[in-house]
Structure 1
Amino acid sequence: MKVLLADDHDLVRETIAAFLESDEGTSVTAVSTLDEVIDAIGDEAAFDIVLLDFEMPGMNGLEGLGKAQARIGKTPVGLISGTASRDVAEKALEMGAAGFLPKTLPARSLLNAVRFMAAGEVYAPVDFMAKRDEEPEHQFHSTLSPREQEVLVGLTQGLSNKEIARDLNLQEVTVKLHVKTLSRKLSARNRTHAAMIAKETGFV
């Protein structure tokens, strides 16, 4: 099985590639932007499946998924993400994505899911797709703007302002302002305290 994997976080990309290549007969070509994906696709028969990180440079939300699908034709294209919502997953599947893979999937489940999609099936983890329907809306959804929520998720992942800015296609100074505003709204002393509050209240 030949896999084209795209993720802009070096450690995440290398870890997922290692998981996949632990399966005998699987080879992974790893890139970090949508432009590199388009360049690597080349001829339709080169890969059995393409995996795209939802947050990487060039994606612009689900627009990048559509571009990759148009480029590669019938080859399955799946979406991977550590932060995308159930709504994003549903829209991706409606667009014809081969599946949606949360980055929290165990290694064995990830490998099985990729095999499943490469075989022409559609994969979406049942617990992830059902979970959001069962959960009431978190209080932060009404107190924080959507962008502030995205920045807060980045804080809980231990990302710097520069890394969050890169992931969200924002200026670093804009992220700094969001951190200041959401910290005020959460009565947090600093970014670390804001991340702790998010985790303690079940936001992430």
Structure 2
Amino acid sequence: MRILLVDDQPLFLEALCNLLRTTWTEGEFVSHTSAAAGVEEGRGQTFDVALVNAEALDASGLGPQAYGELGAPLILTSSSFDASILCEAISAGARGYIPKTTGSRAIVGAVEVVSHGGVCYPSEALAVLAGAKAPAPRIGASRRELEILQRIEQGSSNKVIARELGLSLATVKFHVQSILRATGARNRVEAIINARRMGMLPRSGLV
């Protein structure tokens, strides 16, 4: 496991590194207090997960556009839950969002989920999205769409889903677009969160 960590608070950064080392004792951890240096490192190397602090990015003059410059699945962190940061993270395709108030076990769990291709957002995300103005979604989905939605939640790519269900790639893509319309979502991450809010998938403390 190779993990990139970026946070401009050295004490939190050290504590986070130590926490993750207790789980991935053979892991490689690269940390930066400079957001610019961290983003540059993320561009040039391969990491399993990148945990980057949103406030550090803003302080360095790097906004949401920097999210897409990281080659690794991104988990955004912030000092506390912030709806605007949540929306930025989802729009940018981040795989997770962790407020620093999150417990240590949940942080480790989020990194584990995202490193295996899943997504992990705090339960507060459901209330934010429920109150957000968005096109009214089509309620419900076909049995096949639910099968595909469950595999999207598990982090499976379209190619993997097609192989597992014995479908053509074009058919899977068609169903994914239908799922996005059904959940009123703009991307796969938002589809999972909206699907849980709509009762199409079970809810949990982290989504």
User: Residues 98-130 of structure 1: CA distance to partner in whole angstroms, max 9, x if unpaired?
Assistant: 11001111111101101111111111011x224
Identify the match of residue 117 of structure 1 among 114, 117, 120. Answer: 114
Aligned mates of 2:60, 2:96 — CA distance in 1 = 16
Aligned mates of 2:126, 2:61 — CA distance in 1 = 21
TM-score after normalising by structure 1: 0.56
Is 1:5–1:29's contact at 8 Å kept on the other side of the alignment?
yes
Aligned mates of 2:87, 2:36 — CA distance in 1 = 24
**Which residue does the alignment assign to 2:68?**
69
**Which residue does the alignment assign to 2:31?**
30
Deviation larger for 109-118 or 25-34:
25-34
Is 1:8–1:32's contact at 8 Å kept on the other side of the alignment?
yes
Q: Does 1:129 align with 2:125?
A: yes
Alignment root-mean-square deviation, CA: 2.6
TM-score after normalising by structure 2: 0.55
User: Residues 29-73 of structure 1: CA distance to partner in whole angstroms, max 9, x if unpaired?
Assistant: 11012211133225342x1111111111x4369953432422x33
Aligned mates of 1:62, 1:133 — CA distance in 2 = 27
Q: Does 1:52 align with 2:52?
A: yes
Identity across the alignment (%): 23
Aligned mates of 2:93, 2:67 — CA distance in 1 = 11
Aligned mates of 1:101, 1:55 — CA distance in 2 = 13
**Which residue does the alignment assign to 2:154?**
none
Identify the match of residue 89 of structure 2 among 87, 92, 109. Answer: 92
Unaligned runs of 5+ in 2: 131-207
Q: Does 1:43 align with 2:44?
A: yes
Unaligned runs of 5+ in 1: 135-204
- The number of residues matched between the two structures is 130
1:132 CA drift (Å): 5.8
